[in-house]
Structure 1
Amino acid sequence: MPSGERPQRTTVVDETGSPRALGAGPETFASFGRGPDPVFLGLGPDPAVTVGLAAGRPAAFFECPAFAAAMPPPWAQAIPADWERLEPEALSPARAARSTFYLYRQNTRLFPSFWGPIWARAQLGLLPRPEKAETTPAVLLARRQGGLLEPEIARAVVACGRPVTDIPAEASGPAVARAIATGKPSLFLCINGAGLDDDGLLFSLLAEAGVPVAVWFVDNPFHVLGRFRGPFWKKARLFVTDGAFLAPLRSLGAQSAVHLPLAAADHFFTARPEPGLADRAVFVGRSAFAGRDQFFAGCRVPADLLETARSLVAAGGRPDFFWWRARLESAPLWPGKAGRTAGLGAETASLALRAGVLAALAEAVPLSVYGDPGWQALLPENAARHDPVDYYGRLAGLYAGAGLVANVTSLLLPGGLTQRHFDVWAAGGCLLTDATPGLPLFPARLTAPVTYATPAGAASLARTLLADPGRRADLAAVWRRLIAAEHRYEHRLAVLLDRATA
């Protein structure tokens, strides 16, 4: 080999159909367990490395058939003749207890459907748990740092009669292992896949322990699923706040997908109106979601298509996520991240819609915008911009005290609703909403008086409603009774727990 050239690395085609170069050497293995018998979870591209790790001890191994089939003939010849190749069902708790496992690290990314259950069985066998764990009513709730909805969901789960065990999403593996070592919780619940690793190892561990997994997508699910390498998510109980995603999820193989809208957080029902806002329209929200630029890095949308979308928005059209998909991409939404370019188009069109509506409102009525500094360059001078407010702090008072609260639903959610559709009315406020296709969740007689189709329509309706405080008060009272009776998080979690644990 000429000096300076790297040795050629063996490659395999992984579970998603992508070629992957394989690492070699002792450092490509991770060990766990303390038993005397070495058991290899894959031999890697060079079985001689595993012979060295075994250090003369008789060993056993599991191997993925697709991996073995991709190896050249010398690979099989290098496996010691006295090593036993095991089938997955051979991995009993007793065998796990007397083993030290050596995992070829890349395996769980290359073929997660094969290796996830084997890895999980090994891990479960090493836990100090009873042979037959009793099912408990506890719900394991993955909690993201700063997660908006998890506190409310935890409260609602408890209100439904189930104890909650918090699982820190950033360290979910050890926390789940501790929880299943002493019993079998009734459910693992997460928002937008929080706590689940990309390879599905935690999902496999929970499945092996007999704990169902529920994933509630409160954002576009294809922005979440793009990071998952294996099809494990198809076996989870999926819930989506936007019913428009049910059909594409099912077409990709989702076994259980249910429409479960957002709901009103409990603390909004006790809101105290903030003074000085009764004659103003208020908007509370970001100019872009956190980490937007990094998330869409490498994505581009054609300038002419973007101009078409902006024209549609101004005329009352909705160039949403599926509108962009139809014009940009033919690759499947999973596996991979093919949906992100359509997502960028929808997010860019959403910003144009939000900015257009707020500019029109500012010309028509007094407007206060509470949000990030990104709004500074997007708002007219006559709009008052304020710093962001805390969801569990001042926000409820703003909603209760404002003359109107403006809503603009993201086009990333073709048929979605936002928290404002529930929280504003719960607080006793009055919502001004775009004509999102998700509105039929509510009676048309209530949505019609507060719905606009275009930025100009928003301005006209805002003038009319602000000039008629009696009408606003009547609407707010009826809406508040409806939200309290049918759209609290207790209502949603009762459905979720019933469907996910049946």
Structure 2
Amino acid sequence: MDALALRHRGRAPRLLLLTSAYFLLGELKAACQRLGVAHLLLDFASRSVDRDLFVNTIREAAARFKPDAIVTVNHLGVDHEGVLYALAGELKLPLVSWFVDNPEFILPLYPKPDPQNTLILTWDADSLDAVRGFGFTNVFWLPLGADPERFRPGREGRPEWRSRVSFVGNSMVRKTATRLEAAAPGPGLLAAFAGLARAFGRSGERSAEAFVAAARPDLAPELAALPLLRRVAYSTALVWHSTLEYRLGCVAQTLPFGPLIAGDSGWNQLLAGSTGHRLHKELNYYEELPGFYGASEVNFNCTSLQMKGAVNQRVFDVPAAGAFLLTDQRRQIERLFEPDTEIALYRGPEEIAGLVERFLADPEGRERLARAGRARVLAEHTYGHRLSALMAAIQQCFPGRVR
């Protein structure tokens, strides 16, 4: 079912939030505060917690706060031994996990779920069937959103952020290398890696493992023979390297316009020998990005290939900030925005230069799209909307649990 259609009714569930270093827990906490939803945030991110302390902390919070559900992001806080699954079942507290990264890289690493007591939300509608394949029955689509208080027009940026064109994103250089090292593949998989990643990026297949089986059946036994952690690492590395090549090809089309590229040091390596652009270190999501977007005439975006149909955070944050965005076409974007009316899209790298040139010459067109995009975000795509859908999913899947 499409979670966007859900709206909670009656008393809002009381939510026990398991925090981590991931940004989204902060957005959910802020949305709870704005909507007056009772919540308690448990912070396990900054310290190592043994099993007994973890269990006792959850038990004490459940007794004191009396939550209706436990909520986390990307299964962070869920242990690999199944302790939280068992504890949530014992306490009759549904466990809700919102995935905003590929669940197919995460869920295989955890024990068999308790499908009657678990709710999985995923930001990518294309991953719904894959999540069900891991044994979950309560599964909904819940895209990302924006915090309209943080990302809003008028946030002041630094003078050095002024640019005609900007791009914010990871180069994927280090991420690819780290995952490939963890995979420690055999000679066949290693030799084929770059070619497989390139071909995967051009394919319509979402699963890297399924792609290898179809494209190189001779290598499928070698991949299948890897232990689970190494097999997942190899699949992840393929996706990250395909994203690297895709992003580099897209960003290269903006180079004639002197873009400001904010990201990790890998861009120095990828753009060595290129001229005209400026490189900026990674930006802090909370403190810097809200002011950065408004300092660019054209905010350029190209999505990670872990999500071939879904959209990323910038698709919501840039228009929320009142700024103009040019992003790649993704199947799910048409369920969120009206193309060419509320958001500007390119359908392939060959369209990028022409569209950048067109919009740089059309400030009124940029303003019109940015204004319409912000209106759509405020009407349907804030984290308040997402929290409302999350609570409605809890009420639908666990009737009678909200006391």
Q: Offset at 1:467?
A: 1.4
Answer whether contact 1:321 1:342 (CA < 8 A) is retained. no
Q: Is 2:335 the partner of 1:459?
A: no
Q: Does the CA contact (< 8 Å) of 1:187 and 1:214 recur in 2?
A: yes
Letter of the 2:155 counterpart: R
- Of 295, 298, 312 in structure 1, the residue corresponding to residue 183 of structure 2 is 298
Report deviation, 1:474. Answer: 0.8
Q: Is the 8 A contact 1:184 1:211 kept in 2?
A: no
**Which residue matches 1:258?**
140
The question of whether the paired residues in 1 share the 8 Å contact of 2:85 and 2:113 is answered with no
Residue 157 (structure 1) aligned with residue 51 (structure 2): no
Counterparts of 2:161 and 2:331 in 1: how far apart (Å)? 29
**What residue is the counterpart of 1:280 in the other structure?**
164
Partner of residue 6, structure 2: none
Instruction: State the one-letter code of the partner of 1:376.
Output: N
| Structure 2, unaligned runs of 5 or more | 1-10, 214-219, 397-403
Tell me the residue number matched to 1:268.
151
Identify the residue that residue 64 of structure 2 maps to in structure 1. Answer: 182
Q: Choose which of 122, 138, 159 in structure 1 pairs with 2:14.
A: 138
In the alignment, the residues of structure 2 paired with residue 283 and residue 179 of structure 1 have an alpha-carbon distance, to the nearest angstrom, of 43
**Residue 299 (structure 1) shift:** 5.2
Q: Does 1:383 align with 2:258?
A: no
Deviations 1:84-120, CA, capped at 9 Å, x for gaps:
xxxxxxxxxxxxxxxxxxxxxxxxxxxxxxxxxxxxx
Structure 2 CA distance for aligned equivalents of residues 375 and 248 of structure 1: 33
Q: Are the structure 2 counterparts of residues 192 and 445 from structure 1 closer, same or farther at C-alpha, using a change threshold of 3 Å?
A: closer
Q: Deviations over 1:410-458 (max 9, x none)?
A: 1112222111000000001111111222212234443796212332321
Seen in structure 2, the aligned counterparts of structure 1 residues 308 and 477 have a Cα distance that, compared at 3 Å, is: same
2:97 aligned counterpart, secondary structure = strand
Q: Which residue of 1 aligns with 2:261?
A: 369
For 1:193, which of 75, 80, 94 is the aligned residue? 75
Shift of 1:255: 1.3
Q: Aligned equivalents of 2:116 and 2:13: distance in 1? A: 24
Q: Are 1:345 and 2:252 counterparts?
A: no
What is the alpha-carbon distance in structure 1 between the residues aligned to residue 395 and residue 84 of structure 2?
18
Equivalent residues of 1:283, 1:370 under 8 A apart: yes
Task: Give, in whole Å, the separation in 2 of the partners of 1:244 and 1:294.
Answer: 26
Alpha-carbon RMSD across the aligned residues, in angstroms, is: 2.8
CA–CA distance in structure 1, aligned partners of residues 88 and 35 of structure 2: 23
Please give the residue correspondences for 1:6-21 in structure 2 after superposition, counting only pairs within 5 Å. none
Amino acid paired to 2:258: P
What is the identity, as a one-letter code, of the residue corresponding to 2:14? A
Find the aligned partners of 1:239 and 1:477 in 2 and give their Cα distance. 30
Equivalent in the alignment of 2:320: 426
- Give the counterpart letter for 1:358 in structure 2: V
Of 391, 401, 413, which aligns to 2:307?
A: 413
Shift, 1:298, TM fit: 1.8
Structure 1 gap ranges (5+):
1-134
Identity %: 28
Equivalent pair of 1:367/1:384 in contact (CA under 8 Å): yes
Quote how far apart the aligned CAs of 1:393 are: 1.0
**Secondary structure at 2:70 match in 1:** strand
Aligned length: 361
**Alpha carbons of 1:464 and 1:273: their partners in 2 closer, same or farther (altered >3 Å)?**
farther
SS at match of 2:305: coil
C-alpha distance in 2 between matches for 1:312 and 1:193: 27
CA distance in 2, matches of 1:182, 1:242: 35
Once residues 135 and 376 of structure 2 are traced to their aligned partners in structure 1, the CA distance between those partners, rounded to angstroms, is 36
CA deviation vs aligned residue, 1:115-154 (integer Å, no higher than 9, x gap): xxxxxxxxxxxxxxxxxxxx99531111113x21211111
1:192 positional shift: 0.4
Aligned residue number for residue 169 of structure 1: 44
1:478 is aligned to 372
What does residue 289 of structure 2 align with? Answer: 395
Q: Secondary structure at the match of 2:30?
A: helix
- Aligned twin of 2:108: 226
Cα deviation, 1:340-369, whole Å, max 9, x if unaligned, reads: 43322121110101111112211x212001
CA contact (8 A) 2:263 2:283 kept: yes
Post-superposition CA distance 1:32-61 (Å, at most 9, x none):
xxxxxxxxxxxxxxxxxxxxxxxxxxxxxx
Contact 2:175 / 2:237 at 8 angstroms: preserved in 1?
no
Secondary structure of residue in 1 paired with 2:239: helix
Please tell me whether the aligned partners of residues 271 and 396 of structure 1 are also in contact (alpha carbons under 8 angstroms): no
Identify which of structures 1 and 2 has the higher relative contact order when contacts are C-alpha pairs closer than 8 Å and 6+ apart: 2
Cα–Cα, structure 1 residues 318 and 385, in superposed 2: closer, same or farther, change >3 Å? farther
Rounded to whole Å, the distance in 2 between the matches of 1:257 and 1:495 is: 13
2:299 aligned partner, one-letter code: V
8 A Cα contact 2:337 2:373, kept in partner: no
Over 3 Å counting, the alpha-carbon distance change for 1:308 and 1:204 in structure 2 is closer
Opposite residue 35 of structure 2, the aligned amino acid is C
The AA in structure 1 aligned to 2:143 is: P
TM-score by length of 1: 0.66
- Give the structure 1 partner of residue 206 of structure 2: 321
